[in-house]
Amino acid sequence: MATTPDATAEPAVHVAGLRRTYPGHTGLHQLDLTVPAGSLTALIGPNGSGKTTTMRLLLGLDQPEAGTGTVLGSPLNHPARYLPQVGALIEQPALYPQLTGRKNLRVLAELAGLGDDHIHRALSRTGMEQQADRPVATYSLGMRQRLGIAVALLTEPRLLILDEPTNGLDPVGTAQLRELLRSLTSDGTTVLISSHQLNELDAICDHFVFLYQGATLFQGDRNALAASQHSSIEAAPERKDQLTALTSAFTEAGYDVRRHEDRLLVDTAAEHAGELNRTAAAHGITLSHLTVRRPTLEEAFFSLLRQESQC
């Protein structure tokens, strides 16, 4: 992670109980969201869970029927007070394809009364200087997304809101965007990002918000997410013919064990790794592999969903 968010600073976003319904659909019915200042916060949820609706409410593009909160210290119901310090990319960036990237930025900078220095910094922060003088029509999707982020950065916002910016990008475009987002938070910008590519968010984000059917299922940092999950330990014997004996040894010692290919998954906390090692040794089994396994974001999401449906 590029920076550690300051947990004592006022959050960039702190809203609670947001509701926005549509005829026949509940867009949001109980959204609580805190985005710590300086964090790269992931907004995660299946199709229709309310990610875009949340972002539209934060950007003043729509109004909640209930709920309160602040964005950059100003009330949510007075977006004009905070919007000058917020940049956003919602869906595809609106760009003039026949103009160059730089000219697109110039048109928008002039409208906002901003000078060339802002254009220069936006291009430099997004790594787009080399391509700035080519018509946007010749850009790849990844370049368009980066120029879209350059547009959002023109006003040098404190908070950047990005809805599915990795959509449609190939692995190279996604990796470039990942580096860009890391560099933004190292400059002190707070970023709220939604994406379906959970492994991408796992790699770069330090705060996670899970939405399900218009409500917040979980929010917190990586430690809180880990604490909400059952950890497991992966173990494998050096000799594959001892897998069954190792399973019995762990089971007799009271552990819950599942076999996964040529490894065993033991549902237990990280501090039991030493005990597992000793149990194996006591049965004459040498382990060639013993690691604590952190659930992926996807596994964490589905496990929280299961816990919720059992309540």
In this structure, are strands 86-90 and 74-75 parallel, antiparallel, or unpaired?
unpaired
Choice between 100 and 195, CB closer to ligand ATP: 195
- Report 27-46 residues binding ligand ATP (CB under 6 A): 27, 45
Tell me how far apart the alpha carbons of residues 180 and 193 are, in angstroms, rounded to a whole number: 13
Alpha helices (H) along the chain: 51-58, 79-82, 101-111, 116-125, 141-153, 171-186, 198-204, 222-227, 243-252, 273-282, 297-310
- Report 47-106 residues binding ligand ATP (CB under 6 A): 47-53
- CB of 91 vs ligand ATP, minimal distance in Å: 9
Decide: is 165 part of the binding site for ligand ATP (CB under 6 A).
Answer: no
- CB of 224 vs ligand ATP, minimal distance in Å: 22
Choice between 90 and 122, CB closer to ligand ATP: 90
- CB of 100 vs ligand ATP, minimal distance in Å: 31
Asked whether the beta carbons of 211 and 54 are under 8 A apart, the reply is yes
- CB of 49 vs ligand ATP, minimal distance in Å: 4
Asked whether the beta carbons of 157 and 188 are under 8 A apart, the reply is no
Choice between 176 and 194, CB closer to ligand ATP: 194
Choice between 201 and 246, CB closer to ligand ATP: 201
Tell me how far apart the alpha carbons of residues 284 and 310 are, in angstroms, rounded to a whole number: 41
Q: How far is CA 16 from CA 3, 64, 66, 239, 280, in A?
A: 26, 11, 9, 54, 50
**Interface with ligand ATP: number of residues (CB under 6 A):** 11
Decide: is 166 part of the binding site for ligand ATP (CB under 6 A).
Answer: no
Asked whether the beta carbons of 125 and 185 are under 8 A apart, the reply is no
Q: What is the CA 254 to chain-centroid distance, rounded? A: 37
Choice between 22 and 261, CB closer to ligand ATP: 22
Decide: is 174 part of the binding site for ligand ATP (CB under 6 A).
Answer: no
Q: Which residues bind ligand ATP (CB under 6 A)?
A: 22, 25, 27, 45, 47-53
